Amino acid sequence: MRAEDGSLAPAAGRFVSGRVMIGSEMLLRAEGISKQFLGVTALSNVDFDLAAGEVHALVGENGAGKSTLIKILTGAYRRDGGRIVLAGKPIDPSDVMDAQELGIGTVYQEVNLLPNLTVAENLFLGREPKRFGLTNRSEANRRSREILGQYGLDIDVTSLLATYSVAVRQIVAIARAVDLSGKVLILDEPTASLDAAEVSRLFSILDGLKQRGLGIVFITHFFDQVYRIADRVTILRNGHKVATRPIEGLKRIELVSLMLGRELQEQEAHVAEPVDRSQKPVVASFKALSKNGQIAPFDLEMRAGEVVGVAGLLGSGRTETAELMFGIHQPDHGTIEVDGKPVTFASPRDAIAHGFGFCPEDRKLDGIVEDLSVRENIVLALQARRGWAKPLPRKEQEAIADRYIEALDIRTSDREKPIKFLSGGNQQKVILARWLATDPRLLILDEPTRGIDVGAHAEIIRLIGELRQRGMSLLVISSELEEIVAYATRVRVLADRRHTGELPAGEISADAIMRAIASAEDETSGGGAGEGRAAEILREGTA
């Protein structure tokens, strides 16, 4: 099934000694694509090309610009600059339908079909075969069976799509896209909800489509899938293209460093001083916590005055770890102890009652209450903990708000301004203030510096150090390795929804973290148990 398998070798003439030929025979070429949203640059001068019969993987962290690029190629967004050439002709898709007719079909992670219609109706939606001006059902059904037969799928096409598994729906979506468009197929994280057998079935279908000369763009954050199916990979970061590389000869560690944006030998700005954690009291310990399909069992002991950095690629289980710890989701197994006593968190409210705080990754969706003022946003968690019957007096609310506006240097014209008018960095500081006002013992920060300006970035890093020195226990998730190095007193490494290793205080460097991530990705990619060095390091110092 793999590309190196002789029987499925790439079509002759496309590759010349493993190198993709550049030039006019490229099926799809996008040059200098730029896009801004309300003055925020989402894509800056990105080039991308795709050969017929090629699978081109597109990788990058959240917010790197993958979906923006895809949406521009498929006509969902209009580009601000650059040009797109499809099969030698410049195109300018005005909407998704237009792009489909030009030959670019897309299958999204959440399959974009209608579950309440039959399989055949889905395949021919909007282009039903007609007879005497009426839909010719039997013709549609016959052709549907024929089309799906090409994908080795023998199902009742007159049943509702909803009766089939996600994997089958995905194949139907691919069949529709290929039948409708026929030149370029874009797959946006198609494997996110598939199991291993379904993934390999999908990949054999993709191999077949390659043979037929389709160009396939494949978005994923699973490295082993990139290596298994892709011919080339393009890495995006912060709206810029970092590189396009042939997969052959590309080492995993190179790919990780391209994604995270660091050269391997680069030196650290500064490192948090080591902490003798055995002297500090345990705030909370999490034992064998797990949730099926979200995160494999992990142990974690949080002590006062330490910052545990959490590193790993997107989808490695970072946020899932935090969500179990904070009671947003309930673990299938495992126990949580606070001050040595077992507790269960049915909701964040319970975790907060035990002195936990959590700054979520998606500030807009999960953090700010946009129409409420800065003051109200700051006192919200504290007020919620006190209960509705014990309102904070207005004067006290104002004092708290003013204190944090000053301490965190929140830039706002006044405390009664709705938070939605603040910049991203200042909104983040308000959310931090919301938790600091509750005087938490354990604070979980999920990507606290994402999408904020440089000044606020530095202030938040400094603040994390201060909070640690004041004895708070912090767990900080970040994709920015320099950042983790700057504040973490130990670093948890995650890969493939497992805690695969830990770097103790003396061994933290961006280089070491990156190596740990890359080796963990390597070990887990085989699908095996992944025991070994990483698992050894994982042993919590709890003995």
Chain residues binding another protein by CB under 8 A are 38, 326, 328, 347-349, 352-353, 358, 360, 365-372, 376, 380-381, 383-392, 420-421, 434
Choose between 255 and 368: whose C-beta lies nearer to another protein. 368
State the DSSP H helix or E strand holding residue 37, giving kind and residue range, or none if neither: strand 28-37
223 within 8 A of 521, measured Cβ to Cβ: yes
CB contact set of 325 (below 8 Å; sequence gap of 6+): 284, 286, 289, 300, 336, 351, 356, 444, 475
Choose between 411 and 539: whose C-beta lies nearer to another protein. 411
Minimum CB distance to another protein, residue 381 (Å):
4
DSSP assignment, residue 367? I
State the DSSP H helix or E strand holding residue 20, giving kind and residue range, or none if neither: strand 19-20
- Spell 360-383 as b/e; 16+ CB within 10 A means b: bbebeeebbeeeebbbbbbbbbbb
- Spell 30-58 as b/e; 16+ CB within 10 A means b: beebbbeeeeebbbbebebbbbbbbbbbb
Q: How many residues does the chain have?
A: 543
Minimum CB distance to another protein, residue 389 (Å):
6
For residue 344, give Cα distances in angstroms to 286, 332, 341, 347, 444.
11, 12, 10, 9, 17
Choose between 444 and 508: whose C-beta lies nearer to another protein. 444
Choose between 75 and 440: whose C-beta lies nearer to another protein. 440
Minimum CB distance to another protein, residue 72 (Å):
21
Minimum CB distance to another protein, residue 325 (Å):
13
- Give helix 166-180 / helix 137-149 axis angle, nearest 10°: 100
Minimum CB distance to another protein, residue 328 (Å):
7
Choose between 229 and 444: whose C-beta lies nearer to another protein. 444
**CA dihedral for 82, 87, 89, 91, sign (positive or negative):** negative
Structure tokens at 32: 């200098």
Minimum CB distance to another protein, residue 326 (Å):
8
Minimum CB distance to another protein, residue 335 (Å):
22
Choose between 343 and 372: whose C-beta lies nearer to another protein. 372
DSSP assignment, residue 6? G
Choose between 131 and 420: whose C-beta lies nearer to another protein. 420
